[in-house]
A and B are shown apart, each in its own frame.
Chain A
Amino acid sequence: MYIQEQLPWDQINDDTLSFFKAIGVDYLTVNAIPPDVRQGRDRTELWRDLKTLAESHGLKLTNLAATGWDEISLALDDRDEKIDAWRQLLRSMGEVGIPTLGYNFKPAGNFRTESVPPGRGGARYSTFDYEKFMVDPPYYPDKAISEEKILENIRYFLERVIPVAEENDVRMALHPDDPPIPEPMAGAARIVSTLEQYHHIFDMVPSHSNAMLFCQGCVAEMDEDVCGAIRDIGGRDKIVYVHFRNIRGGSRSFQEVFVDEGDQDMYEAMRTYKEVGFEGPFMMDHTPGFPNTDSTFWGGRAFVVGYMRALIQAVYR
């Protein structure tokens, strides 16, 4: 059972990969990828170089992560060019043998409120409180879109890219909105905020390549029973990989806490992944921020990876 960990493309080097290998990471994900991919630049050679570098450290390059581009989600004038660029990305992944692509479809992005109260040891928890958010809600006129339109846009997108993903043996893994609130935020409707919406998206273009990045944190923020959701989505073989994180609270008010201190029983969750036949990988996604930022990079990652490894050994071995 495998653990995946991420780095921006320009921070992947011998030092960071040695660190990953030391703490027992198996797989590498590139997040973010270079911005010029959006302009249609063929990055096959970069993927090949990164793959070779990862392998020289005993790691596998298994994943890229991209933000769904506004031209596509908002159906701007050059949407078709961007869809071509996305297909080019998928082909370059197929060429090099990178099997999964994480992405999202939320033009207005994420929303957070002030990080209060501070967490363990003064750690900064990513926090959302709906009531505070609604005191002065933002509005982004250039991102405004109705639910009907954005649903049409994701259908248009999936119909054109999923066949290319299939041809290239790439699974596209859609990340939930965050916070996953199925109402317009900043003027943009949100269509990846409930499990029902996921089922709708899967049904639009049925394919093994049309699947989910199971962000366990976001699923918990949906007020879903997490293990029930793992059974629902995992039972359909729609989990490409997992963001193994924990929260305290629910949809209207939550904090992203350390993995061991949230509301979710992570051991039970891990057992449920195994029960539905999920074979990984797991990754930590975010860590709370330490007062000393160096500690966030080193300590934050190592803490979660150690925690996940022990649970994996307890459940899968």
Chain B
Amino acid sequence: MTIQDHVSWADFNDETLRFSRAIGADMICLDIRAMHRLDPTMDLRDGRDSRPFFEAAKEKVEAHGMALYSIFMAGWDELAFGLPDRDDKLDAWRRMLQCMGEAGIPALGYNFKPMGNFRTPSVPLGRGGSVYSTFDYETFSRNRPQPHDPPVDEAEIWANMRVFLECAVPAAEKAGVKMALHPDDPPIPEPLGGVAQIVSTLDHYRRIFAAAPGDGNGMLFCQGCVTEMGVDVYETIREMGRRNKIVFVHFRNVRGALPSFQEVFLDEGDVNMRRAMEVYREVGFDGPFMMDHTPGIPGDVQSRAGHAYAVGYIRALIQTVYG
């Protein structure tokens, strides 16, 4: 059973990879969401041949004894909003999938939330003064961010998603890449920033899967977001796992659920993580697990302790459950 560690493009260097390997990560999820901002020459939205890029990244990870299992990319605004050059971007997305497949990278994590995530101040602080990513609907409602103009309703963004899925999922299948859609965060099925959120409920996922059937259309099972939805986490693992929709897991824990929650350390949240792990096993999920976020530990530069703590915890649970 494998563990995947999250490495963002800015930290994608030998030192980080050595660290991930030392704490026992088997695979890397390379997060390139910020890549084009850090290096404007590296924008895959232009539809370039990105195979050399993916091959080089894979080689770099493999040199450290790990596999490059997934790429993480935000769903592009042109696609979510249906902007005039959408067709170019659809082509670019297909090209990206094809290049990933040729390079032998089997999964693409992504999201479809042009307004991003929403959080409120991290109160109260957590263990040892740690900063917990926090959302409280009432606090949020008292001080909402400037909404997108013009507003985008559910019908409009759903129509855009359907176009995207119908185009991208067959390309993913052809390329041998599984697309893994991350939930909205917080997963509230209303327009938080003027744009409707359409990846916020299990019904949303069922609709998404129905729109473009196939293994290329999967879920990044962020267990934290699923917990935040207030649904039965164990039953949800069962449902999504049995349908073979879980591409990989963000194994994290939460205290509370909507309308108010905090992302806490793995060992102190509301979900019994061992029981969750048992259900993944029961439905035949064979990895990888990854830690996603860690609370911010004071003084912990680059979240090394946070990564190590979570990976150690996940490894022990894997050994007790999967053997």
Q: Which of A's residues lie within 8 Å of B, judged by CB?
A: 15, 17-24, 57, 119-123, 258-261, 266-267, 288, 290-292, 294-295, 298-311, 313-314
Q: Tell me the residues in window 121-146 of chain B with beta carbons closer than 8 Å to chain A beta carbons.
A: 126-130
Q: Chain A contacts of B19 at CB under 8 A?
A: 121, 290, 292, 295, 299
Cβ of B95 < 8 Å from any Cβ of A? no
Q: Chain A contacts of B15 at CB under 8 A?
A: 291-292
CA distance A144 to B310 in the complex (A): 47
Closest to B320 in A: A314
Q: Tell me the residues in window 265-323 of chain B with beta carbons closer than 8 Å to chain A beta carbons.
A: 265-268, 273-274, 295, 297-301, 304-317, 319-320
Min distance, Cβ B279 to any Cβ of chain A, angstroms? 15
B316 lies within 8 A of A260 (CB) = yes
Task: Give the interface centre of A23, A301, A314 by most chain B CB atoms within 10 Å.
Answer: A23
Min distance, Cβ A291 to any Cβ of chain B, angstroms? 6
Question: Mostly helix, strand, loop or mixed at chain B's interface?
Answer: helix
- Among B21-29, B212-220, B254-262, which stretch is in contact with chain A? B21-29
A313 lies within 8 A of B267 (CB) = yes
- B305 CB contact (under 8 Å) in A23, A266, A309, A313: A23
- A299 CB contact (under 8 Å) in B266, B307, B313: B307
Instruction: Given the known inter-chain contacts A24-B127, A260-B24, please indicate yes or no for A298 contacting B308, CB distance below 8 A.
Output: yes
CA distance A305 to B306 in the complex (A): 11
Q: A19-B300, A120-B22, A299-B304 are in contact. List 17 more A-B contacts (CB 8 A).
A: A18-B297, A19-B299, A19-B305, A21-B127, A21-B128, A22-B128, A23-B128, A57-B128, A120-B24, A121-B17, A266-B319, A267-B319, A292-B19, A294-B301, A298-B308, A302-B304, A303-B308
CA distance A298 to B24 in the complex (A): 15
- Some 11 contacts from A to B, beta carbons below 8 A apart, are A22-B127, A122-B22, A267-B316, A292-B15, A299-B304, A302-B308, A302-B309, A304-B312, A307-B313, A310-B266, A311-B316
Cβ of B238 < 8 Å from any Cβ of A? no
Closest to A25 in B: B128
CA distance A292 to B298 in the complex (A): 19
Q: Closest 10 A-B residue pairs measured CB to CB? A: A121-B22, A22-B128, A306-B312, A21-B128, A121-B21, A310-B316, A307-B312, A306-B313, A303-B308, A306-B309
Cβ of B50 < 8 Å from any Cβ of A? no
Closest to B294 in A: A302
How many residues does chain B have at the interface if contact means C-beta atoms less than 8 Å apart?
Answer: 44
Q: Chain A contacts of B65 at CB under 8 A?
A: 120-121
Q: Chain B contacts of A23 at CB under 8 A?
A: 127-128, 265, 297, 305, 309
CA distance A276 to B273 in the complex (A): 26
CA distance A6 to B137 in the complex (A): 41
Q: Chain B contacts of A119 at CB under 8 A?
A: 22
Cβ of B33 < 8 Å from any Cβ of A? no
Q: Chain A contacts of B21 at CB under 8 A?
A: 120-122
Q: Chain B contacts of A57 at CB under 8 A?
A: 128
B22 lies within 8 A of A306 (CB) = no
- B298 CB contact (under 8 Å) in A19, A303, A311: A19
Q: Chain A contacts of B23 at CB under 8 A?
A: 120-121, 258, 299, 303
- B274 CB contact (under 8 Å) in A15, A259, A314: A314
Cβ of B98 < 8 Å from any Cβ of A? no
Min distance, Cβ B96 to any Cβ of chain A, angstroms? 30
- B24 CB contact (under 8 Å) in A24, A261, A302, A309: A261
Q: Chain A contacts of B267 at CB under 8 A?
A: 24, 306, 309-310, 313
CA distance A311 to B316 in the complex (A): 6
Instruction: Given the known inter-chain contacts A20-B128, A299-B308, A313-B274, please indicate yes or no for A123 contacting B300, CB distance below 8 A.
Output: no
Q: Chain A contacts of B273 at CB under 8 A?
A: 310, 313
CA distance A304 to B311 in the complex (A): 9
Cβ of B4 < 8 Å from any Cβ of A? no
Q: Chain B contacts of A304 at CB under 8 A?
A: 312
